[in-house]
Chains A and B, each alone.
Chain A
Amino acid sequence: MLSRESSATLMSAVTAFIYKEARLQDEHQYEAWEALWTDDGIYWVPANGDDIDPEKEMSIIYDNRSRISLRIRQLLTGKRHTQTPQSRLRRLVSNIELLDQQPGGDISVASNSMVFESSLRDDTIWAARNEYRLRYVDGELRMAYKKVILVNNEKALFTLSFLI
């Protein structure tokens, strides 16, 4: 376990990372957001529950690192029609908790978020529990895993084409 002092320092770094990620997503800074990932990153948005097996059942997003890159390159074409024009976004992130850290290992973090999206269709509110595994790479925090558990993931959802 970490000492109280190093835990507070880590919490501060993790919080800053999560706020930065949220801002990059809201402002569609696709390349900067992609740079937050480690080389083995997994980006997962399950459907129909919190703990389905993504290797057996359909998820809304279940991207390995190469598909994260493909998703970003598609957005960067400017011809991803559902994001042309881009959704206007602002999200609030809170309830950040350090769940676990092994010395030298990944840091497990969770947060809650609420996103307000304004698109051509309408205004839409999205709410989620976010579970991360973060890792120091060359002295910088990176995401190795992000799971976004939408509160309403059992229901029929409108298009979700921005970065959640």
Chain B
Amino acid sequence: MNLVPRASQWGELIRPDRVHGSLYSDPAIFEAELQNIWYRTWVYVGHESEVPNANDYVVKSIGPQSVIMTRDEQGKVNLLLNRCSHRGNQVCSYDKGNARSFTCPFHSWTFANDGRLVGYAFPDGYEGQDKSKLALGRVTRVQSYRGFVFGSFAAEGPTLEEHLGGAAETIDRLVRFSPEGEVEVTAGFLKHRVKANWKFILENECDGYHPAFVHSSIFGVADSAIGKLYGGASTAVTRDYGNGHTEIDLRPEFRKRDAPMSWFGTTEERLPDYTARMKAAYGDQKAREIMIDGTPHVMIFPNLFIAEIQMFVIQPLAVDDSVQHVTALQFKGAPDINRRLRQQTMGSVGPAGLLLADDSEMYERCHRGVLARNPEWIFLGRGEKRERQDDLGFKIGHVTDEIPSRGIWRHYRSLMEAV
């Protein structure tokens, strides 16, 4: 297929229990996704802790577009497009730094870090020109939730909190793991490129069916308890929060263990400083509950994956080219656990990760696989007959069921049809 489906035709490609292979491989569909998803809905961009001081900046992205996240002198976080308003040259060539302004190297146009054009070379040639109309482009709406900064190119639409919906609670659950209630993103990102469509990554993040097979090599030799969480007898669940947000909720298994920090393969005794700080912050009982439950495993549509101890940001570059940006989560006021989080993350993820290199191999093989056109469909019907609802009315199922994929595609279809 080379023509983008009309709104009425997306339902032919996206069925309740299956989706068409061309959704992953058709360049025209990828272009339509950029317009209808990446350049319209709320997309995660960066974290406030990456620009802690006035004039700090860090270069991020929304899809293939380069975005400079700045903190201006007033302390406000801006998302500016890395493109001179004169001839399109990139105004920032470094990944991060501290700068009051960005001067384009091409013709020396200079922009303040809130995007305003403050000067150009030889200004007499621009007599009568209104500088305020030549600012850097910016992401239209910017909102934060507990330090996580999202942007949307749409002037109108759902607020960030409306978009996050029930999944906002997973971020609440994450930050409370810090005795100060804050996550920090300070360890730098590994950037892992895959020759595959971004939705293979998106759907895999809350696929609880694959770990027993894709990761058997490491579970076996590391004597890991993770494998059992994803086994047939597991009481963990998959959840569809709506708006494309999905979760693997492992708390039922961790609550059975009833042991603080067991979810992280350690004990309170081995983390005395952290344990004391958590009890001081939340009280003994609440701290114990938090430390038993662990942190969430949640995929915030379309690109923020919080995977217990690390976070991934998915960046699509082309229909068959994607980057996973990944870093260890760091919890403010928890130095003794933060080091372990970095060490575990480095071992697990990134180009040489003992886990993620195998996931990424699957993404690339799937991408090449769907180029074959028989059968035409990806079958996502696992657990369809045993879906149920949790206390809040969200769909849940067995940890190995494909509730997350079905939820993602239901939302995807609504976005692609709403043109």
Contacts and interface: CB of A to CB of B under 8 A. Distances in A.
B188 A121 contact: no
B354 A59 contact: no
A71 to B, nearest CB: 7
Contacts of B220: 77, 79
A20 interface: no
B350 A60 contact: yes
B188 to A, nearest CB: 4
B112 interface: no
B217 A74 contact: yes
B372 interface: no
A121 B364 contact: yes
A74 B350 contact: no
B183 to A, nearest CB: 16
Given A74-B217, A74-B218, A157 B346 contact: no
A56 interface: yes
Given A60-B351, A62-B346, A74-B354, A82 B361 contact: yes
Contact of B214 (A63, A67, A81): A81
Nearest to B361: A82
Interface residues of B, number: 39
B195 A121 contact: yes
B357 A79 contact: no
A37 B265 CA distance: 28
Contacts of A159: 192, 194, 351-352, 357, 360-361
A159 B190 CA distance: 11
A159 B339 CA distance: 25
A144 B339 CA distance: 23
Interface in A32-52: 45, 47-48, 52
Contacts of A77: 216-217, 220-221
B323 A156 contact: yes
A100 interface: no
Contacts of A161: 351-352, 357, 361
B187 A45 contact: no
Contacts of A122: 195
B350 A55 contact: no
A93 to B, nearest CB: 20
A61 B192 contact: no
B209 interface: no
Interface string B344-385: 011100111010011011101100000000000000000000
Contact of B217 (A67, A80, A154): A80
A52 B190 CA distance: 13
A58 B192 CA distance: 13
Given A48-B95, A58-B342, A159-B351, A80 B190 contact: no
B159 to A, nearest CB: 32
B222 interface: yes
Given A58-B188, A70-B221, A81 B354 contact: no
A10 interface: no
B191 interface: yes
Contact of A58 (B187, B360, B362): B187
Nearest to A77: B217
A150 B125 CA distance: 47
A47 B350 CA distance: 10
A99 interface: no
B197 interface: no
B229 interface: no
Contacts of B190: 47, 58, 60
Q: Which 10 A-B pairs have the closest CB atoms?
A: A156-B191, A79-B217, A156-B193, A82-B361, A73-B221, A160-B351, A57-B188, A77-B217, A156-B323, A161-B357
Interface of B: 95, 186-195, 214, 216-218, 220-222, 323, 326-328, 339, 342-343, 345-347, 350-352, 354, 357-358, 360-362, 364-365
16 contacts: A45-B352, A47-B190, A47-B191, A48-B189, A56-B187, A57-B188, A58-B326, A77-B216, A80-B217, A120-B361, A120-B364, A121-B195, A156-B193, A160-B352, A161-B351, A161-B361
Given A58-B187, A63-B347, A74-B222, 6 more contacts: A60-B352, A70-B347, A70-B354, A77-B221, A161-B351, A164-B352
